[in-house]
Amino acid sequence: MVPSTPAPRARGPRFAFPALILANVFLPLGPVLVRLSDVGPVAAAFWRLTLALPFLLLLALPGLKAARPGARDCGAMLLAGLFFAADLATWHLGIPLTKVTNAAIFGNMSAILLPLWGLLVLRQIPRAPQAVALILAAIGAAIMMGGSYELSPHYLRGDLFCLLAGIFYTGYLLVVQNVRQRLNSWSILAGSSLTGALPLLLLALWLGERVMPGNWTPVIALALSSQLIGQGLLTYAIAWFPPLVLGLSLLLQPVVSALFGWVLFHELLTPTDLIGACAVGVALVLVRLPGRA
């Protein structure tokens, strides 16, 4: 069972919110690079963690020496790694079976599940601007989903994989936000990546996927952009915001993914998609207002 998320620190550094936004700009590169790689989707997830791991361990070493994590923290990082491996495996399996925008929308169901966790479990009642932002973001996501969703067996299977990934990712974020109160971001990311890599390799081999790349560029770019930069910024920022703000920030990813899908794969953005994207953008502005008061 995922532990209850503690209340984030009252005041965060000035870079925390820009880091949260930048993380959700880099992370949507994942579906694009998975499609461009010449290995299996789960194998791509394995390389995402493995290639980033040396850099993450180097960055994490000072924090690990200073904090000296105990059994509780090690257990939390192990749990986070398993959640993250399950998230990446199901998400990467779904990406080739659906549109880039669909993969981002369903893979980021945390945007809805995190605020619900905050409301139902932590009893965090949203303030008026946050409530409006949540409603507006939900409307924007629904508009985008309605515009891009195509009811066919092919897309349905991919969407279900990505939806399952969103549930696993919610568990990952809740565990990380808990342990982030005691360890720095690089320590957590290195620990969860280390524990998540082996299960992904074993699953890729069990599925009979191609593991060794012929072209290393997409998997290297995946490790650097999604894991090192994107996930690194998100893990840094996660300590400073409540579930509502974290959830709403994740809705930026479908907007960015829609643009990538349009430019790279000719998955055209309709006027409906643009309206939904604008609604998400306004929601991100509204949710930040209480922090400036």
Using a pLDDT cut of 90, give the percent of the chain over it: 23
Nearest to 98 by CA among 161, 46, 141, 29: 161
268 CB-near residues (< 8 Å, 6+ apart) = 262
Residues 73 and 179: beta-carbon distance below 8 Å: yes
Q: Which residue has the higher pLDDT, 89 or 179?
A: 89
Q: Which of 82-91, 107-116, 280-289 has the highest mean pLDDT?
A: 82-91
Domain edges within the chain? 16-292
What's the whole-number mean pLDDT along residues 137-153? 63
φ, ψ of residue 192 in degrees (nearest 5): -70, -35
Q: pTM for the complete prediction?
A: 0.76
Give me the chain's average pLDDT, please: 79
Q: Which residue has the higher pLDDT, 263 or 225?
A: 225
Is residue 78 pLDDT above 70, yes or no?
yes
Is residue 138 pLDDT above 70, yes or no?
yes
Is residue 141 pLDDT above 70, yes or no?
no
What's the whole-number mean pLDDT along residues 202-226? 94
Is residue 97 pLDDT above 70, yes or no?
yes
What's the whole-number mean pLDDT along residues 192-198? 92
Is residue 67 pLDDT above 90, yes or no?
no
Q: pLDDT confidence of 291, banded at 50, 70, 90?
A: very low
The pLDDT value given to residue 290: 47
What's the whole-number mean pLDDT along residues 87-103? 85
What DSSP assignment string belongs to 242-277?
Answer: -HHHHHHHHTHHHHHHHHHHHHHH--PPPHHHHHHH
Q: pLDDT confidence of 43, banded at 50, 70, 90?
A: very high
The pLDDT value given to residue 292: 40
Burial of 46 (0-12, 13-18, 19+ CB in 10 A): buried
The pLDDT value given to residue 70: 74
The pLDDT value given to residue 99: 76
Q: Which residue has the higher pLDDT, 251 or 194?
A: 194
Q: Which residue has the higher pLDDT, 40 or 187?
A: 40
Q: Which residue has the higher pLDDT, 286 or 160?
A: 160
Residue with tokens 């790279």: 264
Is residue 148 pLDDT above 60, yes or no?
no
What's the whole-number mean pLDDT along residues 64-92? 85
Joined together, the tokens standing for residue 177 give 């936000």
Q: Which segment of 5-9, 130-134, 174-178, 256-260 scores lowest on mean pLDDT?
A: 5-9
Is residue 25 pLDDT above 80, yes or no?
yes
